[in-house]
A and B are shown apart, each in its own frame.
Chain A
Amino acid sequence: MAKKTTEQAGGGRGPTARMKERDVATQKKILALAEEIAQRSLKGREPIVEIPTRTKSNTIWNKKKGILEMGGATAERPLFDLKTAKQFMQTMLHASTIKDLIDAQKTSSLRGVFYKAKHTVAGTKENTFDTQDESDPILEDLEVALGALREELHVFAENRGSMVGNITIVDKGDEIDCRRMGSGGYALPSIVEPDIIQFKKCEAKFVLHVEKGTVWNRFNEDRFWEKNNCILTHGAGQPPRGCRRLLQRLNQELKLPIICVLDNDPWGHYIYSVIKQGSISLAFESTRLAIPDAKFLGIRAKDFRECGLDDAVKIDLTDNDIKRAKEIAAYPWFEAHRGWQKEINALLSNGFKMEVESLITKDISYVTETYVPERLKARDWLE
């Protein structure tokens, strides 16, 4: 891992040679995009941005690699079309904003970028952006259109998710011992690339990823990671890019298996699917994010009977849940997987879903002291 980056990473301290190189490349891409549009305009040709489409239809399931990849389809975003005129303008504004950010060697949050580009269109009462919901997708468009990653654009998202465990890391030069993180854990930043975060010392044998903070707290309080020599993470529901990227790096660089404990419902299955193969909207990043050998430990549909749970833990499946479950069952990577077909069918025939917390009805620490250790020992998981 990078050795010298420690005190130079990040804004304000002067770019490293490597970062400079990266930024120059990004600037070139932005300039090329803008230059082409400017020239088209001056020559009286219609200005168009071409943006690879981030839709299901343009997502390809790479069976060999076991990840979702983005296809080659692109969508044209012409200026002179009422549907896309505003987006075109917004794309240009953000391109300019990002150029400024890189010039200034600063990073900005998604919200910061939104505010920077938000102003009233000259001579009107209309805002360039009304809400951040308009702004974020434009940034993603730029990522794919430029073929540059978010961090390369100097943009980051909020911290989300936590980590504790038998590992020491270096984050922007600060050494962080994840064994001594108290009850809150190490907050996962949105950019965890090797030039920001390096792994220093790791004894852990695997990573246990749980769905949300409350469950994570249970495991942390019971010192699960200590007793089982592992790393414990959560991603506050659908894990953000930072969390997924870190898990992937732990998996690829340290060869740690990633074992997930998620709810027994379509949402839990979907989170697993995203961790494992990537998502449609971020298919272009799958090679950096997907963890094809991630494992799904639970909660399993069979657990209601096997663990002897109380009727009270059942939550009826809604119509939407059923629809969602069927969609997930039809994902190509699940469709060909007999274990998953069985699992989803079991969920549907149960007619109810269960949260991880349902195991608490047995005993407050049942999940950390009995359930997970037993399953781990039996290697009882889905892949």
Chain B
Amino acid sequence: MESAVKERSAQGGTKRRGATAEEMSARQKEVSVSEFFVKNRHLLGFDNARKALLTTVKEAVDNSLDACEEAGIMPDIAVIIEDLEPKRPATAKQSRYRVTIVDNGPGIVRKQVENIFGRLLYGSKFHRLKMSRGQQGIGISAAGMNGLITTGRPMLIYTKPNAKQPAHHIELAMNTKTNRAEVTLDKETKDFPPERLRGLSAGTKQLSQEGVFLSPEVFATGTSVSIELEGKYQKGRGSVDEFLELTAIANPHARIVFVPPSRVAQDEVDDLLPGTSAAAAEESKTKADAPAQTTETGGVTVYPRGVAELPPETKEIQPHPKGIELGILLQMLKDYEASEKGSLYDFLQTRFCRVSASTASKFCSAIGATSRTKAGDVEPQQVEKLFKVFEDEKLAPPPTDCLAPIGVRQLLAGLLKGVKAEFYAASTREAAVYRGRPFQIEAAIAFGGDLPGDQAARVIRFANRVPLLFQQSACSSFKAVEETPWKNYAMQQPRGSLPVGPLVVMIHMASVWVPFTSESKEAIADYDEIRKEMRLALMECGRKLGTYLRKRQKMRREGERRDVFERYIGEIAKALNAITGEDARRIYDALLEQARRKTAVADQQLDEDGKVVKDDDEDDFGEGVIVVESAIAPVESAAPIAPPVFDAPNAKAASTAKADKNAKMAKDARPAKPAKAVKSEPAAKPEPAIVTKKDLSSRASTEPKPAPKKKPFSDDDPRLF
């Protein structure tokens, strides 16, 4: 970013164009970061109206969650989008919205408000190595800036850092020339959380009464940010809804209430991710039942809390010598000299992780310095040498207590909440290191159930618990999914692409510094170490899925076995009857009994609770697996096999209830002869049988018949065999 801030100086030799170096120098001036980003809003995720709305919500929600967690508060977040032009024509491409995010975080002390909301690249997170959602300090101020540019309206902030004192009510606009905020209103108020929001709609009123929405007890402290902007609200992929839904999955400890605008843009679905709206529609219908399931009240969506404890607090760490770059090392030395004026020996120990006293003195002697050499006295060549020594030295990897993975249990809880499937598996890898920065990969998969079976798997990606919604194919995680050998796990996978089937794959990267491919934080850069860890995590889940699928297939086969036999013995009985004249019904019943006996095993498992994998099988899958038995598709397609209907001149009382059922079910059923002992006969209609089978013998009904043993056929007696 820094490099982009300054315009390139013009080189000499431009005289023939008529501008002198002096004239040009008059035009050369510093560009403020704000100005740069005003012109390059797309770098920050404000490329179009739809994405602008999403990015605004995302930045504010990320900040709120970070603040709550850092303060040790269970996050309770309200996202409210108001449509300010509800009467616009239906053809309008976009509309003006007011986005308000209210959190119950620690609030912001008055003097920092301008800096946090009114300056780009100002924040607490850039300079430290600590796992958090925000990294650069661009997000929320950029969102405010975007609002200011598109609507001219300032940001509206309420913040209440102290439960016992009134809240601050501030309106501020950023001056892009100076990258500073200009406050247009500043007063104290008792109205927090803002009363107005609670009365927005019937849904909000009801939830407020129930204490679910912006209750003053929960929001004793906190911050509310409102930004007006030109945007477009639409459902589907890359929407605010999807973002919140995924955020809820990755942050089961947070409660999020979403009040969507009254109008949804209904025109053509943005081509952000074409052909995926079906999946999103499917998603929305999965919100039902189960205790921690997402609910909807009067248009307001509540993503409830799935777990009762905050993620463990993460520690800030010093950089690891292996991950440092030469320029940064020089800068660090400079900073150290300016602030501490200490020795190189102390510098190495205090400003890096995993550098012990003995390692530090080893480093010092390696570059020809002593333990007393001042940091400021180190020659540039020595620094370069030090850098090399860093590379060569064997060091323990950075500590990993700076990472807070979501955790297998929470991952499963989150997925269960958001995706309706039959099989869930999750795994968390051990922490690993890229460029001296620790990171940890988690993966989870959901399979079957209501997921669409004929599409490529859906990949949902998270970095430090923030969902990544765009640039999927540029993301390291996407490549890792493609590289995973899904075929080994009984899935289909066209060469070099995503697996196909009812599958959702979720990948989370937790790190003190997630390497994004751009400032808008949409895709994780493709480091080999990261991709490898992702692949290993996926393979772990995949193996569990493979075990499950193979087991399920086996179960299914067992169940099908009997179906197969039952299906064929009707045909066999008819054929044997045609040849031998032996009674078809008797043969059928005898064979059926044999079939039942032979497949008694399958019977047992099927009868228990209707085609379901048994509990005691679960141990085989290993840890981190949930099987939702009720979601498993039935073993065979709904229609059971209708047993064949035999014309049964000799049908004894053997034709029990079963036979009645046959009569009802079989399409080409011909009525049993009324005289025969068939119970509840009325069910069968007294219509002549329709012989559907094209059969030489029925065609040539005049042909001489062999002498059958039991009963001669007659021409007016059309039968099935």
Interface residues in chain A, defined as those with a beta carbon under 8 Å from any beta carbon in chain B: 27, 30-31, 34-35, 37-38, 41-44, 46-47, 79-80, 82, 85-86, 88-89, 92-93, 95-97, 99-101, 103-104, 116, 119, 121-124, 126, 128
Contact = CB atoms under 8 A, between A and B. Distances in A.
Given A38-B576, A104-B696, A99 B642 contact: no
Interface in B629-678: 641-645, 665-666, 668
Contact of B579 (A42, A99, A116, A124): A99
A48 to B, nearest CB: 12
Interface stretch (B175-183, B273-281, B547-555, B562-570): B562-570
Nearest to A99: B579
A124 B560 CA distance: 13
B87 interface: no
Contacts of A79: 565, 568-569, 572, 591
A41 B587 contact: yes
A42 B641 CA distance: 23
Contact of B587 (A42, A82, A97, A123): A42
Given A41-B594, A92-B575, A96-B579, A85 B641 contact: no
Query: Which 6 A-B pairs have CB atoms at the shortest separation, nearest pair first?
Result: A123-B642, A34-B579, A92-B575, A122-B644, A89-B568, A96-B575
A96 B594 contact: no
Interface string B668-703: 100000000000000000000000011111001001
A44 B594 contact: yes
A93 B696 CA distance: 13
B598 interface: yes
Interface of B: 557, 561, 564-565, 567-572, 574-576, 578-580, 582, 586-587, 590-591, 593-595, 598, 641-645, 665-666, 668, 693-697, 700, 703-706, 720-721
A86 B568 contact: yes
Contacts of B579: 30-31, 34-35, 95-96, 99
A41 B575 contact: no
Given A41-B591, A85-B564, A103 B703 contact: yes
Given A43-B590, A89-B572, 11 more contacts: A38-B580, A42-B587, A80-B598, A85-B564, A89-B568, A95-B575, A100-B696, A104-B704, A116-B695, A121-B570, A123-B641
A352 to B, nearest CB: 36
A92 B576 contact: yes
A86 B572 CA distance: 10
Contacts of A93: 571, 575
A104 B572 contact: no
A123 B706 contact: no
Given A31-B579, A38-B576, A44-B593, A89 B571 contact: yes
Contact of B567 (A30, A42, A121): A121
Contacts of B582: 35, 38, 42
16 contacts: A34-B575, A35-B580, A41-B576, A41-B590, A47-B572, A79-B572, A80-B595, A85-B564, A92-B571, A96-B575, A96-B579, A103-B704, A104-B696, A123-B641, A123-B642, A123-B666
B666 A122 contact: yes
A80 B565 contact: yes
Contact of A126 (B567, B575, B578, B696): B567
B579 to A, nearest CB: 4
**Contact residues of A: prevailing secondary structure:** helix
Contacts of A47: 572, 591
B694 A85 contact: no
B641 A128 contact: no
Contacts of B696: 97, 100-101, 104, 116
Contacts of A46: 594
A314 to B, nearest CB: 38
Given A42-B586, A85-B565, A119-B694, A100 B571 contact: no
Instruction: Pick the most buried of B561, B580, B590, B706: most chain A CB atoms within 10 A of its CB.
Output: B580
A80 to B, nearest CB: 5
Nearest to B703: A104
A123 B643 contact: yes
B644 A123 contact: yes
A311 B591 CA distance: 67
Contacts of B720: 122
Contacts of B593: 44
A44 B590 contact: yes
Contacts of A124: 567, 641
A99 B665 CA distance: 31
Nearest to A45: B594
Contacts of A80: 565, 594-595, 598
Contact of B665 (A30, A100, A119, A123): A123
Nearest to A27: B706
Contact of B578 (A41, A44, A88, A96): A96
A60 to B, nearest CB: 32
Contacts of B572: 47, 79, 88-89, 92
B29 to A, nearest CB: 75
A235 to B, nearest CB: 31
A99 B598 CA distance: 31
A155 to B, nearest CB: 13
Nearest to A43: B590
B672 to A, nearest CB: 16
B592 to A, nearest CB: 10
B277 to A, nearest CB: 32
Nearest to B700: A104
Nearest to B571: A89
Contacts of B643: 122-123
